[in-house]
Amino acid sequence: IKENMPIIYGVTSTYKRYLQLPELTRLSQTLLHIPKFHWILTEDSYQKTKTVTKFLQKSGLNYTHLNTKNNIPPTKFIKDYNTRRMGLNWIRENVPPTKDAIMYFIDDDNTYSFKLFDEIRATKRAAVWQVGLVGGILNEGPVKCENGKVLEWKAYWWPDRLIPIDMAGFAVHVKLLFERPKAEFRDLPDMESDFLSSLCVTRDNIEANNCNDVLVWHTQTKTPEIEGNEILPRQYKTTQRKLTT
């Protein structure tokens, strides 16, 4: 591990569901391999849940555990609007402006290659890469670049967005957050490109060091069909077998 490498602050929103703990567990197993990483995990809840608290305590990761309720007041487009904003605000309030650090938004249901974090750590101001299985196509984002600049973008959904990229497809150096203290998320369908625009990031000046590899995928785990309702008394039966000696 190089002592002078920048730290990565990974911001994740999470909410209670059957798949929450399995997906957080899978994600944490990836993050355990990433040096100089701090996880900011924000729950969509009125209070920190025991499930996530115990999970983080046993995770072996450096973390900050936050909570706030989404959809208060109601949002029209972005379901995890408040939790993302809270993670962003935590960085502004707790990370020194001069610190060499990168902010990256990590969805708890995505799949990440170790190599992606090398790309993230190379970010000088704002960097972009492809995301797989998103926007109705196999991969979205920059597909041709030269000398660190994007020459060609690939997108199916709303290709004329300011920067046609998924939330998993970019990272920002924290110094930008302090240079543009009013930059924020807004409840818009193109929240990602609007946020980057508020940081004065454009298609022309965003960094692109790898336009060939897909290193993050917007995977979707199938929600299991659970019989009955866990809030009600359990309806299933257990069976026991006597051991013979």
* Residue ranges with strand state E in 169-215: 170-173
Find, among 190, 214, 206, the residue nearest to 130 by Cα: 214
The answer to whether position 133 is within a domain reads yes
| Annotation says 192 is catalytic | yes
The answer to whether position 32 is within a domain reads yes
User: Which residue(s) pair with 154 in the sheet?
Assistant: 141
Domain count, the chain: 1
Burial call 79-95: b when 16+ CB within 10 Å, e when fewer? ebbbbbbbbbebbeeeb
Find, among 1, 3, 9, the residue nearest to 123 by Cα: 9
Binding residues: 109
The answer to whether position 164 is within a domain reads yes
What CATH number should be reported for the domain holding residue 18? 3.90.550.10
Residue pair 189/76 in contact (Cβ under 8 Å)? The answer is no
What are the pLDDT digits (tens) for 120-139?
999 999 999 999 999 999 99
The answer to whether position 233 is within a domain reads no
Burial call 161-190: b when 16+ CB within 10 Å, e when fewer? bebbbbbbbbbbbbbbbbeeeebebeeeeb
- Radius of gyration (Cα) for the chain, nearest Å? 20
Q: Which two tokens stand for residue 2?
A: 């190089």
| pLDDT above 90 coverage of the chain, percent | 88
The answer to whether position 238 is within a domain reads no
What are the pLDDT digits (tens) for 51-87?
999 999 999 999 999 999 999 999 999 999 999 999 9
Domain that holds residue 136: 7-217
The answer to whether position 231 is within a domain reads no
**Mean pLDDT confidence for 12-40:** 97
Neighbouring residues of 54: CB distance < 8 A, sequence distance ≥ 6:
none
The answer to whether position 245 is within a domain reads no
pLDDT of residue 232: 45
Choose, from 192, 225, 227, 230, the residue flagged as catalytic: 192
pLDDT of residue 233: 47
What are the pLDDT digits (tens) for 150-189?
999 999 999 999 999 999 999 999 999 999 999 999 999 9
The answer to whether position 86 is within a domain reads yes
Cα dihedral 199, 187, 168, 166 sign: negative
Pairing assessment for the beta strands 7-14 and 101-105 based on DSSP bridges: parallel
Binding residues for Mn(2+): 109
Q: Which two tokens stand for residue 18?
A: 């059957």
pLDDT of residue 238: 53
